[in-house]
Amino acid sequence: MKKLVSLLLVLVLAVGLAACGSSSSGGETAAGEKITLKISTPDPDNASVSVAAKELAKVIGEKSNGEIEVTVHPNGTLYGGDPSAAVKQLGAGGLDMLVLSTSLYANFDSRFSAISIPYLFDDKEQFLSFLNGDLGTELLDSVSELDIKGLGYWTRDFRQITNSKRPITKPEDLKGIKLRVPNNPLWVEFFKGAGTVTTPMDFSEVYNALQLKTIDGQENPLGVITASKMYEVQKYLTISNHMADGWLVGMNQAKFDKLTDEQKKIISDSVKEIQGWSLDYDNKEAETAIKLMEDEGVEVNELTSEQQQQFIELSKQAYPTFKELVKDDQFFSDILEFVGKSE
């Protein structure tokens, strides 16, 4: 009987050792194991970034044959709507994946401010070249210091101006207009140079403030303007293309490290694939948004090259202040050289 018990114990130990030996080293996920990830976005379910995140989830599912399941959680629901808290939660592992504006990462690395310098980029093609180039990659890799794996960038539509006072065709037209801007010195400094009365305000308060005429106008990408139905409380839309912003797609570094090499490649490749998909989607949505605004009675004007040049000169006057915000003279000079503009 004792011999039988001893034999059983040996068999149990052997099976246990074999199981341990079959698992991936370093705590990696075993091949074939089902993985579920949550990706959080800051905007509503029908907003461009959330639609792109759904497409990402679909592509990852297809490429992994269902091995990796990604669920999308829009409107900042997983982090209480606080973007700075979201970045911290992502690094700490409270969030799996996050798509957040590059300008918000400036709270952790001031060089991200450079992306949103007004009229820095001539067009989306140049902006995309920057994001995918050495300088953009340098910024993307920098989030590793926050325990975040930077998977890639998606572009956002350039920002446009709406107001209830008059068409904006030159910087002087902004004089005296009470304009809501994000609580960011880049916005404040640029519009202040045109004599605008800048009013930093949480976005959730903007519609009501426009309706009550506490403010005259605001500025945002077209998709945000239409999704928030600002055409109900605004009379003029100016296609100014005054400022760029991107989406940084990040993942908790520790969770990324636990994936197999094949799983890492699937996720990274899928993020890059959605970059082009998202750009095409936004371009089509912009055309639809302008038509919607016109149909709703909003007067739309697009700045000509000559008109836009006046705003470019306005931005250049603020370069000394922008350089201070970036806090890295070499990076500031490098990005100006990349876009062919001088201090």
- 160-243+297-309: in CATH 3.40.190.10: yes
Give the residue carrying structure tokens 């004007």.
301
Q: Which of 116, 98, 96 is nearest to 50 (CA)?
A: 98
Same fold yes or no, 33-158+244-286 and 160-243+297-309 = yes
Q: Which pLDDT belongs to residue 13?
A: 39
- 15 pLDDT exceeds 90? no
pLDDT in tens, 45-82: 988 999 999 999 999 999 999 999 999 999 999 999 89
Could you tell me what percent of the chain has a pLDDT over 90? Answer: 85
Residues making up the chain, counted from first to last:
343
Q: Which pLDDT belongs to residue 44?
A: 86
pLDDT in tens, 233-247: 999 999 999 999 999
Q: Rounded to the nearest 10 degrees, what angle do helices 134-142 and 124-132 cross at?
A: 60
pLDDT in tens, 109-130: 999 999 999 999 999 999 999 9
pLDDT band at 28 (very low <50, low <70, confident <90, very high): low
**Position with higher pLDDT, 268 vs 14:** 268
For the residues 318-342, what does the mean pLDDT come to?
Answer: 95
> For the domain bounded by 33-158+244-286, which CATH number is listed?
3.40.190.170
pLDDT, the chain, mean: 91
pLDDT in tens, 295-323: 999 999 999 999 999 999 999 999 999 99
Q: Which pLDDT belongs to residue 206?
A: 95
**Cα-based distances in Å from 284 to 9, 14, 44:** 67, 61, 19
Contacts of 26 (CB under 8 A, 6+ apart): 257, 258
- 324 pLDDT exceeds 60? yes
SS3 readout for the chain: CHHHHHHHHHHHHHHHHHHHHHCCHHHCCCCCCCEEEEEECCCCCCCHHHHHHHHHHHHHHHHCCCCEEEEEECCCCCCCCCHHHHHHHHHHCCCCEEEEEHHHHHHCCHHHHHHHCCCCCCCHHHHHHHHHCHHHHHHHHHHHHHCEEEEEEEECCCCEEEECCCCCCCHHHHCCCEEEECCCHHHHHHHHCCCCEEEECCHHHHHHHHHCCCCCEEEECHHHHHHCCHHHCCCEEEECCCCCCEEEEEEEHHHHHCCCHHHHHHHHHHHHHHHHHHHHHHHHHHHHHHHHHHHCCCEEEECCHHHHHHHHHHHHHCHHHHHHHHCCHHHHHHHHHHHCCCC
Sequence spans of domains, the chain: 33-158+244-286, 160-243+297-309
